[in-house]
Structure 1
Amino acid sequence: MDQIAVDPALLEAARAARRVVVFSGAGMSAESGVPTFRDAQTGLWERFDPAELATPQAWETDPALVWAWYQWRTGLVRHVQPNDGHRALAAWARRVPMTLVTQNVDDLHERAGSEVAAHLHGSLFTPRCSVCSAPHPSDGGLDVEPTGPVAPPACARCGGDVRPGAVWFGEALPEDAWTRAADAVDACDLMVVVGTSAVVYPAAGLPRRAVESGATVIEINPEATDLSPLVHHSWRTTAAVGLPALVAAVGANP
């Protein structure tokens, strides 16, 4: 398939960049077939609101039920692959200093060869103790949809229940991840916002922060978003189509 043309002004901004921040959202992973929050609501899960499973209150009420759902989601993610957009970013990062910040809880950026500076909403693959916060090895989730609750493992350090590594509704973002993201945004001269509607705060404030700091901001999204009127370039395409074209035009072939 022939690559699509890149707007000359957008391409000029990308070629001139010396410090790039890429900010990715759910649209980045959707093209790999990552199930959305609600796509994992089959079988046992059809009677649950996913937003109610992703809360500290749900964990306190029934940790085995919450653990089972997250292990199911982790297994679903493990069976999909990075797309051309993920691979293009890894290639670009070999040519220019790049900080990758994502709202996604999957590991597709890493599997494509990128280093992620900040998982703002945590990761399915970094479970930790709910008591002492000690990290716990990920077992990659479940291959078969569970038919009932699954008891979480015990922490090797304190014996507490190990919880999913994703940030739940009502929880603060990881302070270290937020600091790394904010510092990178303040120092960048180009920010590429890809696959996010930029409505979930505080993460959604990062592109606006980049604009205010004087960086050029490029949005790659097939649909207009609340961010579109604020950015310098808004490209109506998807991550898997637009990023390979942009990176190839810049001269960092995937």
Structure 2
Amino acid sequence: MAGIGAEKNLDEAGDQSPSDDPIIPVPEDEAKKPKKELTKDEEFLKEYLARSFGLRPPPRQVLSTVDIQGIANLISEGKVRKVITMAGAGISTSAGIPDFRSMNTGLYSQLDKFNLPRPEALFSIDYFKENPIPYYTVRKQLLLENYKPTPCHYFIRMLAEKGILLRHFTQNIDGLERVAGIDPELLMEAHGSNRTGQCLHCSATYTAEWIKDCLIRNEIPKCTAVDCTGVIKPDTVFYGESLPKRFSELVNQDFCQCDLLIILGTSLKVQPFAGITNKVPVETPRLYINLEKNASESKHPLCILIFGGGFKFDDEDNYRDVFLQSKCDDGCYKLAELLGWKDELSNLVTSEHARLGKEFKEEQEKTKQLPVLNQLLTQMSLQNDAEEPCSEKPDQSLPQKGQTDTGMTQASSSGPNQKPCQSGKKLSNQMHEPVSGSTNRSPNSNKNTEQSKSTKKLAKYKRK
């Protein structure tokens, strides 16, 4: 009987209409709970997959032709007002600064003498803390030399002057964008710059001029604060360090409104910089000027989420991606010619290089006089200003002439360099009095520092 009753109950249940199903009430607080919004990365992946499965209409092609002429037409017709440029080491090679990965000429191909565990260790923060000598030996030329911006830098400046540059994102630390006259507010130096440096121990800040002064004396820059001998690290991003907070803020702010993306001289192999090329809207054209076509479409959903979808240069359904195989300067001149800007760009490069050449010559004349002035200042300081002797500590040194680089320790094999006794006086904003009397103050400060006693005595000595 129990079985028959059970069958009857099942039959009755099966005859019920959907409207007879019991309604489970939703708690009032659950009904009012707002839906969770997707992050930008989640939204990107959702839309990418939807387009891949044909669930979205194909994006509108805004280029008349998918080539460099189409890019020029778009600019000439005034259809772009928010251009973003992204640059790597390739835009500075014609200035004399080597890139990283080029065979035989790239920076990574010239490091055998240092016996590094891997080439990237040169820019590893952990390795720098252990041994800063390779970094400063390799970077000494970059930090001391006066390099002139390239035509590529000045083309970016022209985009800014014409009011269509939204932002310039650069991986470079050479600061040539600033030398070229691009408004710092338009710059995002993703990997920092050499304008300042900080002590790894006490975080005291030092200017580029002070660091240069140390390198001229062939010394590793070390902190001069009282009871601190920490190594000074330039304010550049090493492997193992986070990018500036402003980087992610500007990526989220700028890329969603970009109407033309121009990528110059980068291998697009370093994340997260390489992945932001896919942050622009799906209709935004993308121009990639480089010697090698390093970017291609990624198919794996996880890779798409983390690194972006890549480019479709050779795909039949390519509607926006243009690759120009060229040196950066040549590519910028070609685009400038199509825009009718070539003469303007050439004249700007010529006039600016002439101006900088004159400035660099004057600076070199001052630099030649620096060792003599430093020697006089140090001698007079030791003779007249020393209140009590202080213990001198051996300093880390760069390789001297005739000395081999391989197997070199933190101190010179021919004997440690001796640093003059320092007063350790603190200036404003954690700046410290420079070792050799060169100016060392906050880059944003216009206040003149008080002239040292030694400098006053030297001035008195000159008057005599």
Same fold, TM-score > 0.5, yes or no: yes
Q: Is the contact between residue 81 and residue 259 of structure 2 (CA under 8 Å) also seen in structure 1?
A: yes
How far, CA to CA, are the matches of 1:172 and 1:186 in structure 2?
A: 23
Aligned to 1:11: 72
Q: CA deviation at 1:201?
A: 0.5
Amino acid of the residue matched to residue 31 of structure 1? S
Q: Is 1:218 the equivalent of 2:287?
A: yes
Match of 1:172 among 238, 242, 252: 242
Q: Give the Cα–Cα distance (whole angstroms) in 2 for the partners of residues 62 and 119 of structure 1.
A: 26
Considering fraction of residues, name the structure with more helix.
Answer: 2
Shift in CA distance, 192/42, structure 1 to aligned 2, threshold 3 Å: closer
For residue 120 of structure 1, the aligned residue among 178, 181, 190 is 190
1:237 paired residue number: 326
| Higher RCO (CA-CA < 8 Å; seq separation 6+) | 1
More off after superposition, 31-40 vs 163-172: 31-40
SS of the residue aligned with 1:58?
helix
Deviation at 1:112, TM superposition (A): 1.4
Take 1:209 and 1:66, find their aligned partners in 2: how far apart are those partners?
36
Deviation at 1:226, TM superposition (A): 1.5
Aligned to 1:31: 94
- Does 2:269 correspond to 1:202? no
Residue identity opposite 1:105 in structure 2:
I
Which residue does the alignment assign to 2:122?
A: 53
Bigger-Rg structure (1/2): 2
Change in Cα spacing, 1:51 to 1:138, as seen in structure 2 (3 Å) is same
Show structure 1 runs of 5+ residues with no match: 1-5
Q: Flag the 1:221–1:40 CA change in 2: closer, same or farther, 3 A.
A: closer
- Give the aligned CA root-mean-square deviation in angstroms: 3.2
Alignment partners' CA distance in 2, 1:115 and 1:238:
25
- SS of 1:229's equivalent in the other structure is coil
Q: Report if the CA contact (8 A) 1:130-1:161 is conserved.
A: yes
Kept after mapping to 1: 8 A contact 2:89/2:98: no
| TM-score between both structures, scaled by the size of structure 1 | 0.80
Which string of whole-angstrom CA distances, capped at 9 and with x for unpartnered residues, describes residues 62-109 of structure 1? 34x266336514336x33321111112112210023111101111111
Structure 1 pair 160/145, CA: closer, same or farther in 2 (3 Å)?
closer
Checking the alignment, whether the CA contact within 8 Å between 1:41 and 1:48 is kept in structure 2 is no
Counterpart pick for 1:68 among 127, 136, 146:
136
1:106 maps to a residue whose letter is: D
Which residue of structure 2 aligns with residue 3 of structure 1? none
2:155 aligned residue: 88
Per the alignment, in what secondary structure is the counterpart of residue 124 of structure 1? strand
1:45-74 superposed Cα distances (whole Å, 9 cap, x missing partner): 8224342232221233234x2663365143
Q: How many residues align?
A: 243
Q: Distance in 2 between matches of 1:146 and 1:92?
A: 41
Instruction: Give the Cα separation in 1 of the matches to 2:192 and 2:284.
Output: 26
Q: 2-side partners of 1:229 and 1:145: how far apart?
A: 49
Shift of 1:132: 5.8
Per the normalisation by structure 2, the TM-score is 0.46
For the 8 Å contact 1:31–1:83, the answer to whether it is kept is: yes
Spell out, residue by residue over 1:122-179, the C-alpha distance to the aligned partner (whole angstroms, 9 max, x if none).
11333234356554211263797987x61423469x9854312221112111111332
Q: Unaligned regions of 5+ residues in structure 2, if any?
A: 1-66, 101-105, 297-310, 314-319, 346-464
Change in Cα spacing, 1:144 to 1:132, as seen in structure 2 (3 Å) is closer
Please give the alpha-carbon distance, in whole angstroms, between the structure 2 residues aligned to 1:66 and 1:152: 15
What is the CA–CA distance in structure 2 between the aligned matches of 1:250 and 1:239, rounded to whole Å?
A: 16
**1: distance between equivalents of 2:334 and 2:277?**
22
- Amino acid of the residue matched to residue 47 of structure 1? F
